[in-house]
A = this chain, B = another copy of it.
């Protein structure tokens, strides 16, 4: 109830701080009998890890994962799966100047007031580094959902600051450091980031994420609706300030005759619903979009206060992502996968296994 467990039936309890000895998680509720090894998890961690381009933090962390439990002779046993990732590139002294001050827009201030104590090294528990164990856990969820239902997850950056990134093809996503589904715009994005870094500033981004081949029937109304849970999962990612499902805020100006996706014997026509009606999956693609705010740790001096309430100027050195949105795509996919996994299990608890019927159009 202190909020460090994600999910209700497929639960992920994480631990660790940015500069502590290790980070990791315990996954409970994984169905037994699935083949699993570190090789299934490491690739997802590698997509998220820092230091892979000049546009992200230069902290060097291999994020090597060790499975401590829950797997016997290469198969899950139904008991908890613990994942351990040792931190290796801490430079805690980099944070000396912010020990007693609060960065504008950062969790420094609120952790201090909530707990009366905070670990300031690299943001402590509030660091985006803590998304690593979740990405690891989600690799297991993705594997199960794919083997069971053929479900797959994709994501891309669709806007960087004021630059919209038109969708061209999913094929481009792994081939650029921005997770952009567009090949021709990469040069412009790189120039933009280089200028920003030079200025010591940061920028926001928009990420789109999609789940395909989702069984119909997932979601637990009234309160644990699938869209409500996705909103919870995505808004909970560091720096997210907005979440849309399907047509999102475009719905405001739509008429009912336009918004409601017509049904035909071949499937739905259109997907304003984003694959969810009444909080339950329709079988169409689930589509969501998130707004990520600019990093609060910037070199540009900002007015702030210290612990005694005295005015000061804060500049942040150390290693930071100038756009946390750049590494957010695999994280958003991970959170979506965890929600679907959890609801797949919840569904079969009450209703038995889902029956995959004629697939809905997208």
Which chain B residue has the least Cβ–Cβ distance from A346? B1
Convert A186-222 into 0s and 1s, putting 1 for each residue whose CB lies closer than 8 angstroms to a CB of B.
0000000000100001111110000000001111111
Which chain B residue has the least Cβ–Cβ distance from A303? B262
**A188: shortest Cβ distance to chain B, in Å?**
15
Is A337 among interface residues, defined by CB-CB distance under 8 A?
no
Residues in B neighbouring A276, C-beta threshold 8 A: 110
Is A361 among interface residues, defined by CB-CB distance under 8 A?
no
| Contact (Cβ within 8 A) B2 A255 | no
| Contact (Cβ within 8 A) B253 A204 | yes
Q: A105 contacts which of B221, B229, B261, B302 (Cβ < 8 Å)?
A: B261
Is A139 among interface residues, defined by CB-CB distance under 8 A?
no
| Separation of A353 and B354 alpha carbons in the complex (Å) | 12
**Contact size range, A:** 35 or more
| Contact (Cβ within 8 A) A278 B126 | yes
Which chain B residue has the least Cβ–Cβ distance from A75? B117
Convert A214-249 into 0s and 1s, putting 1 for each residue whose CB lies closer than 8 angstroms to a CB of B.
001111111111011111111110001111111111
- With A236-B228, A260-B104, A273-B105: A249-B206 Cβ-Cβ less than 8 Å: yes
Interface window among A24-32, A43-51, A176-184: A24-32
Q: A104 contacts which of B254, B261, B303 (Cβ < 8 Å)?
A: B261
| Contact (Cβ within 8 A) A105 B220 | no
Convert A1-26 into 0s and 1s, putting 1 for each residue whose CB lies closer than 8 angstroms to a CB of B.
11111101101011111001111111
Chain A at the B interface: mostly helix, strand, loop or mixed? Answer: mixed
17 cross-chain CB contacts under 8 A: A2-B80, A2-B350, A4-B221, A13-B80, A15-B80, A16-B69, A29-B349, A31-B351, A106-B277, A114-B216, A204-B255, A230-B235, A231-B232, A236-B279, A255-B294, A262-B304, A353-B353
A285-332 interface (Cβ within 8 A of B): 291-298, 300, 302-305, 309-311
Which chain B residue has the least Cβ–Cβ distance from A229? B232
Residues in B neighbouring A231, C-beta threshold 8 A: 228, 231-232, 234-236, 243
Residues in B neighbouring A250, C-beta threshold 8 A: 291
Is A98 among interface residues, defined by CB-CB distance under 8 A?
no
Q: Which of A23, A249, A304, A347 has the most CB of B within 10 A?
A: A249
**A199: shortest Cβ distance to chain B, in Å?**
8
Q: A242 contacts which of B3, B251, B348 (Cβ < 8 Å)?
A: B251
| Separation of A260 and B301 alpha carbons in the complex (Å) | 12
Residues in B neighbouring A39, C-beta threshold 8 A: none
| Contact (Cβ within 8 A) A351 B115 | yes
Is A59 among interface residues, defined by CB-CB distance under 8 A?
no
Residues in B neighbouring A111, C-beta threshold 8 A: 278, 280
| Separation of A346 and B20 alpha carbons in the complex (Å) | 26
| Contact (Cβ within 8 A) B303 A2 | no
| Contact (Cβ within 8 A) B241 A251 | yes
Is A263 among interface residues, defined by CB-CB distance under 8 A?
yes
| Contact (Cβ within 8 A) A4 B222 | yes
Convert A93-121 into 0s and 1s, putting 1 for each residue whose CB lies closer than 8 angstroms to a CB of B.
00000000011111111110111111100
- With A21-B68, A68-B21, A280-B111: A223-B119 Cβ-Cβ less than 8 Å: no
| Contact (Cβ within 8 A) A13 B26 | yes
| Contact (Cβ within 8 A) B311 A265 | yes
Residues in B neighbouring A251, C-beta threshold 8 A: 204, 241-242, 291-294
Which chain B residue has the least Cβ–Cβ distance from A200? B257
- With A124-B77, A252-B159: A15-B223 Cβ-Cβ less than 8 Å: no
